[in-house]
Structure 1
Amino acid sequence: MTLFSKIIKGEIPNYRIAENDQFYAFLDIFPLMKGHVLIVPKVETDRFFDLEDDLLRECLLFAKPIALAIEKAYPCNRVGISVMGLEVPHAHMHLVPINSADDLNFTRPKLKLSTDDFQTIQERIISFL
């Protein structure tokens, strides 16, 4: 069982943003920017593009209202999407509020946020869903 499956099952505490039968969205605990959200399919698949075509399509449709909520909660030029899958062997997509291409540079130092910060970010994004 992957780390993300444990998060989805509630075995690991997290800051849930949204969920449906197929996907789970939660705050990245090592964010590049405030509002950095992960979208994870509930089915364990290592590589993003190994997901079934319908699931790939549904992933973007699931992410769309979350991205719009992130933009309202954390004004930015746009919400960037990144799919790397190097950290956890479970397909996932990063949604990150960005103002420049460098804001999606995953080699940059991550933000160090408190529990209160994460709760505030979670509440802000959810308020716009």
Structure 2
Amino acid sequence: MPSIFTKIINGEIPSYKIAEDDDNFAFLDINPNAAGHTLCVPKKEVDKIWDLDEESYMKLMAFSRKVAKAIEAAIPCERVGISVIGLEVPHVHVHLIPLHSMKNATFQHKESLKAEEFEAIAEKISRLLK
């Protein structure tokens, strides 16, 4: 059965898309630690990051770096943090989180955003990637 991320990639579930290339897809986390919290996922469904083949891993990291640079330019923050945990969805995903303090990195503090805010953030980050 496809993961929720595969369904997002395939357009079966709506998302606030940031970017995609032939191998990877980035979209805003709908339960963000901070405004701009983005998930980068490989299009190929693999459960654990260490199970990715080396080429796919390197492509995901390069893609994530580009997205992180755009987040950093779009969202006022101290820095953009990266986290790979993978317990909640069995599909590799890299969290890129705008950090204002360590609280943003803990996954215990969440921000509530309206649809218009998500749309504006996604558009701003996407524009900076082009």
Fold shared per TM-score above 0.5? yes
Equivalence map 1:81-100=2 (5 Å) = 81-100=82-101
- How far the C-alpha of 1:124 sits from its partner, in A, is 1.2
> Paired residue for 2:112?
112
Instruction: Give the structure-1-normalised TM-score.
Output: 0.95
Equivalence map 1:16-27=2 (5 Å) = 16-27=17-28
Q: How many residues align?
A: 128
- How far the C-alpha of 1:60 sits from its partner, in A, is 1.1
- How far the C-alpha of 1:99 sits from its partner, in A, is 2.8
User: What is the rounded CA distance, in whole Å, between the counterparts of 1:30 and 1:49 in structure 2?
Assistant: 25
Equivalence map 1:2-17=2 (5 Å) = 2-17=3-18
Give the aligned residue type for 1:37: T
- How far the C-alpha of 1:46 sits from its partner, in A, is 0.7
* Aligned-residue RMSD, C-alpha: 1.0
User: What is the rounded CA distance, in whole Å, between the counterparts of 2:24 and 2:43 in structure 1?
Assistant: 5
Instruction: Give the structure-2-normalised TM-score.
Output: 0.94
Give the aligned residue type for 2:39: L
> Paired residue for 1:72?
73
1:74-107 deviations in whole A, cap 9, x for unaligned?
Answer: 1222110000001111110000111333321112
Q: Secondary structure at the match of 1:63?
A: helix
User: What is the rounded CA distance, in whole Å, between the counterparts of 1:78 and 1:120 in structure 2?
Assistant: 20
1:14-52 deviations in whole A, cap 9, x for unaligned?
Answer: 011000111000000000101110000011111111111
User: What is the rounded CA distance, in whole Å, between the counterparts of 1:9 and 1:112 in structure 2?
Assistant: 26
Unaligned runs of 5+ in 2: none
> Which aligned runs of 4 or more in structure 1 are off by greater than 3 angstroms?
none
Give the aligned residue type for 1:90: H
> Paired residue for 1:57?
58
